[in-house]
Amino acid sequence: MPITSNRSTPPRLTGSTRPQPLHRARHLRWMLRATVAKLNPLHLWHNPVLLVAEVATAVGLLGNVVGQHHAATYDWVIATTFLVTLMLATFAEAYAEARGKAWADVLRRTKTAAQCKLLQADGATRLVDVASLRRHDRVVVTAGETIPGDGTVIAGVGSVDESTITGESAPVLKQCQDVVNGGTILASDQLVIELSELPHETFVDRMITLMEGGQRERTPHETALTALMSGMSAVFVVVVMTLVALSRYDGIHSFTVPTAIGLLVCLIPLPAASLLSATSIGAMHRASSARIMLKHRRAVEAAADVNTLILDKTGTLTLGNRTATEFLPLPGITRQQLAEAALWASNDDTTPEGRSTVALAQAVLARPNPGAGHGTPIPFSPETRMSGVDLDDGRKIRKGAVSVIQTLMTSPSEELDTQAGLVSRDGSTPLAVAVDDRIYGLIRLKDLVKSGLQERFSQLRAMGIRTVMATGDNRITASVIAAEAGVDTFMAEAKPRDKIRLIVQEQAAGRCVAMAGDGTDDVPALEQADVGLAMNTGSRGAKEISDMVDLDSNPAKFLDMVIIGRQWATTRGALLVFSVVSAVAKTVAAAPAWLGGVQEPWPALAGAHAAGAGGALLSVLIFNALSIPALIPVALRGIKMRSGPPSQILLRNLWHWGVLGMAAAFAGIWLIEQALSLMGLW
C-alpha cells in the first residue's frame, strides 16, 4: 500500500495537572499506621533499597543496645537519625498510597445514587435501583441528580459537573450524541441518557480499582529500576564493609559502626526508591484528569516509548457519521433510477452510510420503501467493502468502493473514475452503484475531521512520534483527509489485514506502535499494537481489547498519554539522578567522618567544618532524611515536560537534576551545619 508524506512545523509543548488534595482525618490515621506497618521486613522485601536501610538501622540500634556501657550520646543521635530517615522513607510510600485511597474515596462518593428514573417504551418513567440497570437502558436525569452510569445523551441539553473526575470546576455543556460518565452530576436542565456500560463497569469504577491496586502492580520499567537500585545498594554494602574491615586491619578504630552505617545510608538511592509509589499515583491521577480510562498502569509506561501512532480514519480522525449528501448519476441514468438502485442496495445496510443513503433515496423518490420485488441481501463487510442485493427477477445490485465496483464490470467506466476523482478532491467519499453490468452513478459521502488535530499531531511530531492514517478510502480522498488532519503519512485502501501488516512491519523495525481506532474491524489491529487506544464512541469490542479508552473520543488525546508516560519516566529518572549525585556530594561533605584518622592528612580536613567531623556526619544524615519529604511533591506532580525526543529529555534531566542534586546537597548540609553550631547542639 502506498504511504505518502505530509509534514508541518511543531510548536512548543507544555502543560501539567494539579493533584488531588489529601485532608480527611481517617486517611491521615491510615497513613500514620501504614508508615509503621511498612517497617515490617516482609513488606519491604519488594523494595530492597528500603530493606537494606532497615537492616543497617537495626544493626546501628542493636550495636548501641549491646554495647550501651560504652555507647556515646553521639552514637545514639546517629542511630536515631537512621530510624527517622527510614520512617520518612516508609512515610513517602504510605502518603502516596493514602493519596490514592483518598482519591478513590472521592470517586466512590460520586456513586451515591441508589435509584434513578428509567424511561419506558410508552414514554413514562419509573424509579428503579441503579444496580438493576442494563446496557442500552434509557434513564432520565434532572438537575441536581447523579448520572447513574456511562452513556450517550439521546435527548436534551444540560450542564454536567465533572469536577470529581477532571478537577475542572466549570460545568461542561452536554447535548445529543455527547458522552457522559457515571458519577458526574447534572447541574442544569434535563437529559435522557442511553447507558453504554453497566453501573459497576463505569469509568469511575475502573479508576477506583486502578488507584486502590496501584501500589501492588509494578510495571516493567519500575521492576528494572528497582533491580538497578538494588544492585547499586549491594555494591555500596560491599564497599562499606570493605572499608570497615580495612580500618580494623590497620588497627585504626575511628571508622566506627555508626559512621559506616551513615555512609551506607547516604550512598544508597533511598529518596528515589521510597518515591516510586508517589510517581505512580501521580501519573494515574494525571491520566484520569485527561479523561482517559486505563485498563492497567503498563499502558501509561508503554505510551512513553511509542514511535509510531497509526490511526483509523472514520470515527477516529473524523466524526464517523459519513452522510450521503448527493446522488451523481452517469450519463443515460436519471437521478431517480440511481436513487432507487441505491435504496435497494442499502435497504439492509445498517451502517451509518447505509442508513443515510436510504434516507436520501427516500427523500428523492418520495416513498419509504424500494419498488416491488424481493431478493437476497448482501451485507456490508470491511473486507469486501461492498453491499447489495440479488433480486428475485435476476438483477444484481451492488453499492461499494469505486475500485471494487469497477472490478465487477466487464468494461470499467472511465467516466466513473473521472467523477470519483472530482468527489474525492474535496474530501468526500464516493460510493459507486451498479445494476448487473452497468454502473448507474455515485453517492457522495461527507465526513468532518475532528477539530484541533493538526496542532496536536505537530506536537507528537516534535516528540519524535510519526502519525499514520490507515483508511479504506481511495488515495485521493485519503490525501485530502490526511492533509486536513495533519498526519505525517497515510495508507489508502487499507483493509483490516493491511493495518495489521503495517503494525507488524513497524514492530519488526524495532518501533513501538500505538493504534487508535473505534470499530469492530479495528479490533485485530488494536490487539496487535503495543498500545491500543479506543474511542469511547466506538464498538464494545474495540473498547474491551484496547489498553485505554479516550472518554472524549479524540485521537489527539494520545499526546496527553505520551506526555504523562514520559513525565512519569522522566520523574523517576530525575529522582534517581538526584539521589546518586547528592550521594556523591554527601560523601564529600562528610569526608572528615568517613576518613578521619584513617590516613594522616585527613584529620586536618575536619577543621574546615563549623561543627567538626561529627557534626558534618550528623548534618549529612539530617539532609538525607529531609530530602525525602521535600521530594514528595515533585514525585506527585511530575516534572514539567518540554517537546523533544527521549534522548534529549534524558540528557536535559541528567544535567538539570544532576546540578540541582549537587548544589542542594552542599548548600543544605552547610546550612544545617551552621544551624547546629549556632544552636550549640554540636
User: Catalytic residue positions?
Assistant: 312
Provide the grid cell at 90.
516508609
The C-alpha cell 435497494 sits at 344
Q: Which residues pair with 399 in a beta bridge?
A: 387, 433
For 651, residues 6+ apart whose C-beta sits below 8 A from its C-beta are: none
The arrangement of strands across the sheet holding 125-129 comes to 125-129, 115-119, 138-142, 190-195, 151-155, 179-180
Provide the grid cell at 460.
507528537
Distance CA 617, CA 266 (A): 10
Distance CA 26, CA 21 (A): 14
Provide the grid cell at 67.
554495647
For 634, residues 6+ apart whose C-beta sits below 8 A from its C-beta are: 571, 574, 575
Is residue 461 a contact partner of residue 488, using CB atoms and an 8 Å limit?
yes
Provide the grid cell at 502.
503495517
The C-alpha cell 445494476 sits at 435
For 665, residues 6+ apart whose C-beta sits below 8 A from its C-beta are: 581, 582, 585, 586, 589, 623
Q: Are strands 308-312 and 396-401 parallel, antiparallel or unpaired?
A: unpaired
Is residue 566 a contact partner of residue 641, using CB atoms and an 8 Å limit?
yes
For 86, residues 6+ apart whose C-beta sits below 8 A from its C-beta are: 39, 50, 53, 54, 57
Distances (CA, A) of 114 to 109, 190, 557: 12, 19, 33
Residue whose C-alpha is closest to residue 3's, from 498, 511, 515, 490: 490
Amino acid present at 257: V
Amino acid present at 487: V
CA 570 to chain centre: 15
Distance CA 141, CA 434 (A): 48
The sign one gets for the Cα dihedral 590, 594, 600, 601 is negative
Residue whose C-alpha is closest to residue 614's, from 676, 522, 527, 523: 676
Residue 87, SS3?
A: helix
Residue 517, SS3?
A: strand
Give the number of other CB atoms < 10 A from CB of residue 634. 19
